[in-house]
Each structure stands twice: as structure tokens, then as C-alpha cells.
Amino acid sequence: MKNRAIALPALLLVCFLAAAAGAEPSHCPYDIHLSIIYNYLSDAERTLYDRLYDALYTGQESVSVPSGVTLDRASWMVDLIYNEAPELCAYDRWASLVVPGSGGMTVSLKYRMPLREQERFIQDAAETARRYAGQGEKKGLRAIHDDLCKRFEYGWANGEDTQLAYFALKNNKAVCNGYSQIFVMYAHFAGFASSYINGDVYYDDGTNGGAHAWNIACANGKYFWLDATWDDEGKKAGRTWYGLDGESMIRTHVPIAEYKPILDLKTVLPKNVTHTQHLDVNNSAGFQRGITRKSGKTVQLRKLKSGEYYSPAMVVSNNGRSRVSVSISCRVDGEFIDWGTWPIEPGSNLAYRADASQLRGRTGNHEAVWYCDGIRIASFTWKVK
């Protein structure tokens, strides 16, 4: 609608990224952990999401549902990937379904268009997102929001479903679902944390305005909510519904139960959690301390000498009262290499160094990205020739 872990010495380095096959969809063209809601799924549900993404990317007809995922949650996730990954535009959501069986559940997948059209759509989305990526998180996310408001006319077009990003962009018309799908798609391709949200909206007099869709995003370590549909003022972008916190947004926008756990998100890290990242060098004689950075900014590194390789490391100190979760994702030239996640208990110091054997001998553009409670906090990029 349109209206308005275990306590350890700080310098102990624990090697990880051992076998974590299937921890990410291998065909996803962006870091899947940029999806905020993905980080709130259980391990089994993440595995299902990964299987669905790869299947829809390659045109498979079915995927198995892992044990530990209920029928209700599997059915919701068939909807979730439809909206959270709209670049998979060949996916025919309403003809696909979860099928129970004696050997376990499967998801039967159907398609509305050839995969070659989906490939083109993904390439176009990546190209468009480049101009947002170069602006940084704060300006880039705001630019996506503003451009959607200025570009689209609210409504339907030629009988095509402008709830979907593909048809909205084709016709320059969109309804709320289209705005929200396109926002999350461009955000992910630009390297920004975001998610699609849906639920009901309520007016000032308390009446229910019906089903609606909007977004959550993260810039400079802070989560915020936005509704590009309600901010569309014709050829002008309003800001009334941009940058709200969860408490303010829920006064009018009430998400379905699956999204409510992220309503209270405010910052990436509590003030009492600190981190320092390193990039250690192995010169074939052993690890040597390399470059150290205290912030989450990406840094470009010098070329490696013959026989050397880098191994990303991070020390995290949790002096708070709640457990936090730290993760890492490693890629070379965009290809997923490995991923892992570990809890850090209150009062603990924990340090990790990536298993360098995963990166040894790999040439190209390397990237290691660290997350705390699902949101990107630091990264290293370097090139090996």
C-alpha cells in the first residue's frame, strides 16, 4: 500500500576455518551476511537458505530441507528468499512449495522465466550498485532510497506484478514490495547490510492499513529503519520515514513475528566490546605480526613477496554482560572460500587467526570480512599476483 566462548588469554591465536562446507551459498554474488535477517536464522535454517539460493541460481527443481527446520519455518523461508534475494527473478514463488515426505521435507521449485534473463538481471543490478558502493554506507544507502523515490511511480503496470523488483524496474512503477525488494538488492550488491521487512501498517487513529513492506539497514555501526514507499513524493524523495529506530517505526509499522527479534537493534557493538584486527604474514619461517588496525575500515595492502601469504586475525574483548558472536568470511576474487562463527562469553578475550592453508597459493583479490552479531565491523583486502 502507498499511504503514507571460553575465556582465553588475549594473545592466544586459535586457528579456524577448518571444514565449514555449505556455510554460505557458493553462487551468491555478494557476502550473504550482509542480509541482516540471515544472521538471525538457526544453523539448520541457514543451510536451507544456502541450498535454496544455489538451487535457484542454477535452476534446480528441488532441495532437501535439513532436519531441525519445521514445516512452518521452511514455508516462511520459501517466502524469505523470494523477497530477501530478488535478484533471483526467475523464481516462481507461488508455484513453489514445501512437500512433506516419509524421507523428510523437500522444496519443489518452479521458474517463471529463463535463467539467462536472471543472469542479465543480476549483472545489471551489480552494475547499478557500483555507484552506490563508492559513496560509503551512510551516503550510499540514502542515495538508494532517494533514487527509488524519484524513479518510481506508485502502482501497477500493464498487468505485470510490480510487487517484484524485476517488473518494477522494467516498468518504472512499483508497489511497496517492489520498493523494498529493490532497496535490499542494491544495498547487498553495494556491500551494505540490509534486509526486507513485511507486516502491517497502522494509521494515527489506530486503524489497520493492511499488509506492507519496508526495510532495515545499517550504516556506520547503527541500525535504522526506512520506508521508501511512504517517502515517495512524486519526483521528490521525502525523509519522514528514513533513519528511524525500531521503537519509532513500530508505532506505525508492525513486522510479522519472524522479523520482531531485530526491532531493538541499535548498534553493531556494545560500548564494552572492543576489537583489534591484524593481518599476519607467513614468510615460510613462521607467522610474523603484520599490519594492525583498530577500526573497521578496509585497508589496501602491499603485494606479497614470493613464498609469503597473509592470514587474517582478530582479538575481541567482551567486557559486557551478554554473549556476542564473532564471524569471518573469506573470499578470493569474490569466490567464497570459507566461513566460521564463534560465541564470546561475557568477561572473555578471544583471538582467532584464519587457517592460512585456505589462502596459500591463491592469487587475485583477497578479502576477509569480520562480523559481530551478524553485522560487518572490519575487513582487510589485499592482492596477490
Q: What residue spans define the domains of the chain?
A: 14-19+270-384, 37-108, 115-262
- Count of CB atoms within 10 A of residue 144's CB? 28
Paired sense of beta strands 335-344 and 14-16, if any: unpaired
Which of 43, 52, 65 minimizes the C-alpha distance to 25?
A: 52
pLDDT score recorded for residue 326: 81
pTM, entire model: 0.78
SS3 183: helix
pLDDT score recorded for residue 189: 94
b/e map 331-350, b = 16+ CB within 10 Å: bbeeebbbbbbbebeeebbb
14-19+270-384, which class in CATH? mainly beta
Same fold, 14-19+270-384 and 115-262: no
Output the nine-digit C-alpha cell for 76.
516462511
pLDDT score recorded for residue 339: 66
How big is the chain, counted in residues? 385
Q: Which strand (E) or helix (H) includes residue 188?
A: helix 176-190
DSSP sequence for 79-143: HHHHHH-TT-TTB-GGG-EEE--TT--EEE--BSS-HHHHHHHHHHHHHHHHHHHTTHHHHHHHH
pLDDT score recorded for residue 12: 28
pLDDT by 10s per residue, the chain, length 385: 444 332 323 222 222 222 233 347 889 998 888 899 998 888 899 999 999 999 999 999 999 999 999 999 999 999 999 999 999 999 999 999 999 998 899 999 999 999 999 999 999 999 999 999 888 889 999 999 999 999 999 988 877 888 999 999 999 999 999 999 999 999 999 989 999 999 999 988 889 999 999 999 998 878 999 999 999 998 889 999 999 999 999 999 999 999 998 888 877 666 788 888 777 777 666 666 566 554 444 555 556 677 677 777 788 888 888 888 787 777 787 666 666 677 888 888 877 666 556 677 778 887 787 878 766 777 777 777 7
For 115-262, CATH number? Answer: 3.10.620.30
Output the nine-digit C-alpha cell for 122.
543480476
pLDDT score recorded for residue 14: 29
* Rounded-to-integer distance, Cα 226 and Cα 248, Å: 11
